[in-house]
């Protein structure tokens, strides 16, 4: 079989709410270094694809994550096309956009649609399976990588094998089943069903044909969104009005449950979608009591539990099968069995207006990040980190003055028509209404403390005059 170049379509726009409070809308799980080595699952996904069999990846994410994705790709030394969804429309629209772009790159392209938040232990086995499935996809099948189940789970969809194909472990897909109740999951295990990994391989032309047949409105919206897309720095920004016309539906419902061209391959690699805290506990190394302890955590008489703390000492006594996750502004305590319900908890908090449901204390920006230290009725204190060569927008505020105290590094500060250099243990004062900018001209990160004083300290009291990152 001739060599096939696989175009990865990496979906990286999800929120990952079941891993709250670590994963939130402003920094979701795929970009957080959850595993050993300090890399995010997005980065390990990119690294798995660093092989001659794979073409330049197409990363599909949203506007809020564009600079995070680009920076993490740069850190891995991997180039790719970053496509910005104007809004979340589920996986069918994202895969439709990816298939359109892949087919325009090469009419014979074979696409690999995969999530950016999965964990694969054996990257070589993953690549081997993808190459095998790509060969079958080139014949007109939409191939799903199925995972041999280790236990009856209600968290995954299931794949029923049908007529065997020529390749070992490959078959037609007889039935595609969404997440079942426990009794059915047990039955499916006995009948040889596999878990649906959410990894699909297909000839781009096949996927476009099946979308045209089963979800024409999704395909039409995707094609129009690409046709009218605009370049924004290094990103491809899809047309918002066109993309909004796509039905919000998963590729499973839109195509895989309806197509007559579905196939499956039993994967030879270990896999986890780290969908909730119980799956994190499952894949991490454990102590003699079955506990996963991370950060300043101390437990006694505790078993089969996950206790994680970012900063403050977190202790647990006499509990089994629990999840305790402590961040600077929120604490989660849940039974391991109810870990999947954290998503419902986040929805409840959002409905009641709790900002912690969506926002981290640390907010990432293309120039670095800031983290609130304290806030009162007429003041706010922040820790600001500006990466090398990073600079904030030229801006002004109508309701607050600011004091910047440099802790480490060097700051270049613009105040109206003046530019001053501020070193460690020095400060700059920015009166209300002045035009100002902060820049790091040095070769190490700039760390400073910002004290805002005024009648209003909200983030929307910013008038951007000039911005190298093309933000509004």
Q: What would the DSSP string read from start to end of 155-166? A: SS-EEEEEEE-S
pLDDT in tens, 135-174: 999 999 999 999 999 999 888 899 999 999 989 999 999 9
pTM beyond 0.95: the answer is no
CB atoms within 10 A of CB 336: 17
Question: How far is it, in rounded angstroms, from Cα 113 to Cα 135?
Answer: 15
Task: Give the chain's length.
Answer: 472
Name beta bridge partners: 326: 309, 331
CB atoms within 10 A of CB 125: 14
Name the more confident of 26 and 335: 335
pLDDT value, residue 103: 97
Per the listing, tokens 């197409």 go with 58
Mean pLDDT of the region 335-352? 96
Mean pLDDT of the region 356-368? 93
Residue 36 has pLDDT above 80, yes or no: no
pLDDT value, residue 155: 85
Task: Give, for 209, the enclosing helix (H) or strand (E).
Answer: helix 204-214
Question: How far is it, in rounded angstroms, from Cα 336 to Cα 323?
Answer: 6
Question: How far is it, in rounded angstroms, from Cα 181 to Cα 461?
Answer: 50
Could you tell me if 273 and 118 are in contact, meaning their C-beta atoms sit under 8 angstroms apart? yes
Q: 4-13, 31-40, 271-280, 435-444: which has the minimum mean pLDDT?
A: 31-40
Question: How far is it, in rounded angstroms, from Cα 217 to Cα 226?
Answer: 14
CB atoms within 10 A of CB 150: 10
SS3 of 103-156: the string is: HHHCCCCEEEEEECCCEECCHHHHHHHHHHHHHHHCCCCEEEEEECCCCCCCCC
Name beta bridge partners: 414: 419, 437
Query: What percent of the chain is predicted at pLDDT more than 90?
Result: 91
Question: How far is it, in rounded angstroms, from Cα 129 to Cα 264?
Answer: 11
Question: How far is it, in rounded angstroms, from Cα 31 to Cα 69?
Answer: 8
Per the listing, tokens 């195509």 go with 255
pLDDT in tens, 197-223: 999 999 999 999 999 999 999 999 999
pLDDT value, residue 472: 66
pLDDT value, residue 1: 44
Could you tell me if 195 and 264 are in contact, meaning their C-beta atoms sit under 8 angstroms apart? no
pLDDT in tens, 63-82: 889 999 999 999 999 999 99
Could you tell me if 356 and 350 are in contact, meaning their C-beta atoms sit under 8 angstroms apart? no
Q: What is the mean pLDDT of the chain?
A: 95
pLDDT value, residue 4: 83
Confidence band, pLDDT 50/70/90 cuts, at residue 324: very high
Residue 27 has pLDDT above 50, yes or no: yes
pLDDT in tens, 365-390: 999 999 999 999 999 999 999 999 99
Helix and strand numbers, DSSP H then E, in the chain: 11, 30
SS3 457: coil
Rounded to a whole number of angstroms, the CA Rg of the chain reads 24
């Amino acid at each position: 079989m001739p060599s096939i170049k696989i175009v990865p379509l990496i979906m990286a726009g999800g929120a990952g709410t079941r891993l709250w409070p670590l994963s939130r809308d402003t920094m979701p799980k795929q970009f957080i270094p959850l595993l050993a080595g300090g890399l995010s699952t997005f980065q390990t996904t990119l690294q798995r694809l660093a092989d001659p069999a794979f073409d330049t990846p197409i990363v599909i994410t949203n506007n809020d994550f564009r600079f995070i994705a680009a920076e993490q790709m740069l850190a891995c030394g991997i180039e790719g096309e970053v496509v910005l969804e104007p809004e979340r429309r589920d996986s069918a629209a994202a895969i439709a956009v990816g298939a359109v772009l892949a087919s325009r790159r090469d009419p014979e392209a074979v696409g690999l649609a995969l999530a950016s938040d999965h964990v694969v232990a054996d990257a070589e086995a993953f690549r081997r399976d993808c190459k095998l499935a790509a060969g079958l996809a080139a014949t007109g099948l939409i191939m799903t990588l199925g995972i041999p189940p280790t236990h009856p789970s209600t968290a995954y969809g299931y794949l029923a094998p049908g007529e065997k194909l020529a390749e070992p472990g490959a078959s037609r897909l007889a039935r595609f089943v969404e997440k079942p109740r426990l009794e059915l999951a047990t039955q499916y295990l006995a009948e040889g069903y596999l878990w649906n990994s959410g990894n699909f391989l297909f000839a781009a032309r096949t996927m476009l044909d099946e979308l045209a047949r089963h979800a024409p409105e999704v395909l039409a919206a995707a094609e129009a969104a690409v046709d009218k897309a605009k370049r924004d720095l290094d990103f491809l920004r899809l047309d918002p009005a066109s993309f909004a016309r796509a039905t919000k539906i998963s590729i499973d419902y839109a195509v895989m449950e309806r197509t007559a061209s579905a196939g499956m391959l039993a994967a030879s690699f270990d896999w986890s979608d780290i969908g909730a805290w119980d799956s994190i506990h499952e894949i991490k190394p454990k102590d003699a009591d079955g506990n996963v302890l991370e950060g300043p955590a101390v437990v006694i008489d505790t078993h089969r539990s996950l206790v994680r703390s970012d900063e403050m000492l977190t202790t647990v006594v006499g509990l089994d099968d629990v999840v305790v996750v402590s961040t600077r502004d929120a604490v989660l305590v849940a039974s391991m069995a109810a870990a999947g319900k954290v998503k419902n908890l986040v929805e409840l908090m959002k409905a009641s207006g709790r900002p912690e449901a969506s926002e981290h204390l640390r907010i990432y920006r293309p120039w670095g990040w800031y983290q609130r230290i304290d806030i009162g009725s007429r003041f706010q204190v922040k820790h600001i980190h500006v990466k090398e060569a990073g600079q904030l927008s030229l801006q002004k505020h109508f309701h607050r003055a600011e004091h910047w105290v440099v802790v480490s590094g060097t700051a270049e500060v613009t105040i109206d028509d003046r530019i001053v250099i501020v070193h460690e243990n020095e400060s700059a004062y920015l009166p209300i209404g002045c035009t100002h900018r902060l820049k790091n001209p040095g070769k190490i990160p700039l760390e400073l403390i910002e004290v805002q004083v005024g009648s209003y300290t909200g983030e929307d009291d910013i008038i951007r005059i000039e911005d190298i990152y093309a933000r509004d």
